[in-house]
Amino acid sequence: MKLIFHGGAKEVGRSCIQLITEHGDEYLFDAGIKFKHHGYEYPKILDKLDSLDGLFLSHAHLDHSGALPMFYHKKLLPTIFTTSQTASIIKILLKDSYKIARIKHLNPAYERKDIKNSINKAKIVNFDKEYDFRKIKFKFLNAGHIPGSSSILIESDGKKILYSGDINSRQTNLMIPLDHSELANKIDVLIIESTYGYRQLPVAKGLGLEIIEEIKKVIKRGGSVIIPTFALGRSQELLINLGKLFEDPEFKKVPLYFDGMSTKITNLLLKSTPKYVKNIKELSRMFFKKAKIVKSQKQRNEVASNNMPKIILTTSGMVQGGPVLHYIKHMWHNPKNAIFLVGYQCKHTNGRMLLEEKSVYIKGWKTKVKCDVKKFSFSGHISRDEIFAYLTQMKPKTLIVQHGDPESVDAVCEWAKKNLPDTKVYGPKIGDEIEV
């Protein structure tokens, strides 16, 4: 069999890996987009592919799912396999992405009807159940990353291939961590993410207390905190975590505003019973009883122009679009205020520029912000030491490291070559092909 890398190889974004079996069947792991200053990049395969038998979708984040409508726009009609949570959430994220692209006069490269067609044809699978399709067997396993997220195990041509997707083995407020111990020493090919392969993240519990203490400092000096966050996963994690802030009588009445796609996603999750998700009761309490849901532009204007101390939890996580830019536009000039970044910031995004330069593009103008900017390393991803522990446990015959900046991929490959002497190790680039 052969694996070809069309995205996500020595980069974070547009995850897309092609699997060609010995029988000539062709499958994809994920179909994402990569965020750029003025638009998106799609997987390279879209200009080359003539046919496709199936597409395995690990989770709903757009760097793994955002190119999905393109396959239908180009008349490629693969069978899509994913979990029910992922399918439901993707509908919301793709519609929002299309809307933002049109507002910004970007070419989304597909039509609105392609979103509906791609999702409606998805085959819903259950976690931990084995399925047969054509000449392969497959199973979706808990990845611990976000609701609905999966690692995908495929058996084909006498080999077991495990595509990790985005994974997390760390304890968080939202997700039950992965447990793939039953597959130890049984995997022929492991394709693993390496987002944080070059460094170790702080312990989540301590990080949660740290951000609360920093929020208190901003509120005490009369400022407000803007927290740009991903609509799926991080928003819910932070909403649960912020419950601890309001246990302090001094801050009990500080308003918490919840805005953007996060509101739709959270409402959807609370209406379902997603597997491997925890603290649903606390999430429900914070969402329905504490958070003030921003529902209109008028309300958004009132919140942004109000100088009273407050917390604003809003999309987008990389500050590329959504309500967060509106709030920053009104609040960047006040040094009492703060922007707290709580997720990975891809290169060439506003979020990365805020971190490195304290600058952000607002309505096309590069603006040097006067408010405080801090980064907190919350993550739904496995980090360096956990990656090494996971690989030590799994001991695959072949290891392929991807979904990371070059330094992350190289760090994991270097460690694996030293510590897993019986494992073949690859760190492919875009376009590389690996024969198994």
**372-401 confidence digits (pLDDT tens):** 999 998 888 999 999 999 999 999 999 999
Highest mean pLDDT among 40-54, 184-198, 354-368, 377-391: 184-198
The CATH number given to whatever domain includes residue 267 is 3.40.50.10890
- 150 in the same domain as 210: no
Question: For residue 116, what pLDDT band results from cuts at 50, 70 and 90?
Answer: confident
- 117 in the same domain as 245: no
- 271 in the same domain as 390: no
DSSP state of 127: B
**H or E segment to which residue 357 belongs:** helix 350-357
Are the beta carbons of 401 and 13 closer than 8 angstroms?
A: no
Residue at which a domain ends, from 346, 375, 404: 375
Q: What is the pLDDT of residue 108?
A: 58
Are the beta carbons of 371 and 332 closer than 8 angstroms?
A: yes
- 103 in the same domain as 220: no
Average pLDDT over residues 173-195: 96
**H or E segment to which residue 5 belongs:** strand 2-7
* Domains identified in the chain, total number: 2
Average pLDDT over residues 10-37: 91
- 225 in the same domain as 174: no
Query: Is 60 exceeded by the pLDDT of residue 35?
Result: yes
- 37 in the same domain as 182: yes
CA dihedral 240, 381, 190, 400 (to 10 degrees): 160
- 276 in the same domain as 367: yes
**304-331 confidence digits (pLDDT tens):** 999 999 999 999 889 988 899 999 999 9
Query: Is 60 exceeded by the pLDDT of residue 103?
Result: no
- 194 in the same domain as 146: yes
Residue at which a domain ends, from 353, 375, 397: 375
- 336 in the same domain as 282: yes
The CATH number given to whatever domain includes residue 27 is 3.60.15.10
Q: What is the pLDDT of residue 297?
A: 94
Produce one character per residue of 101-121: b if its CB has 16 or more CB atoms within 10 Å, e if not. Answer: beeeebebbbeeebbebbbee
Average pLDDT over residues 96-118: 68
What whole-number distance in Å separates Cα of residue 274 and Cα of residue 261?
A: 19
Are the beta carbons of 163 and 289 closer than 8 angstroms?
A: no
Closest CA to 24 of 40, 48, 2: 2
Letter for the amino acid at 373?
V
**H or E segment to which residue 99 belongs:** helix 84-103
- 384 in the same domain as 270: no
Residue at which a domain ends, from 327, 346, 375: 375
**142-151 confidence digits (pLDDT tens):** 999 999 999 9
Closest CA to 403 of 166, 121, 133: 166
- 181 in the same domain as 316: no
- 400 in the same domain as 273: no
Question: Which residue range is the domain that position 118 belongs to?
Answer: 2-199+380-435
DSSP state of 323: T
> What does pLDDT average to over the chain?
91
Torsions phi, psi of 331, nearest 5? -125, 0
Produce one character per residue of 9-37: b if its CB has 16 or more CB atoms within 10 Å, e if not. Answer: bbbbbbbbbbbbbeeebbbbbbbbbbbee
Question: Can you tell me whether residue 277 is helix, strand or coil?
Answer: strand
Query: Is 80 exceeded by the pLDDT of residue 203?
Result: no
Torsions phi, psi of 139, nearest 5? -150, 140
Closest CA to 22 of 133, 136, 131, 191: 136
What whole-number distance in Å separates Cα of residue 7 and Cα of residue 132?
A: 27
For 4, 18, 344, 403, 433, the CA distances from 430, given in Å and listed in that order, are 8, 12, 21, 11, 9
What whole-number distance in Å separates Cα of residue 161 and Cα of residue 141?
A: 13
> Of 394 and 68, which is predicted with more confidence?
394
Torsions phi, psi of 209, nearest 5? -70, -35
What whole-number distance in Å separates Cα of residue 284 and Cα of residue 287?
A: 5
Q: Is 159 exposed, middle or buried (0-12, 13-18, 19+ CB in 10 A)?
A: middle
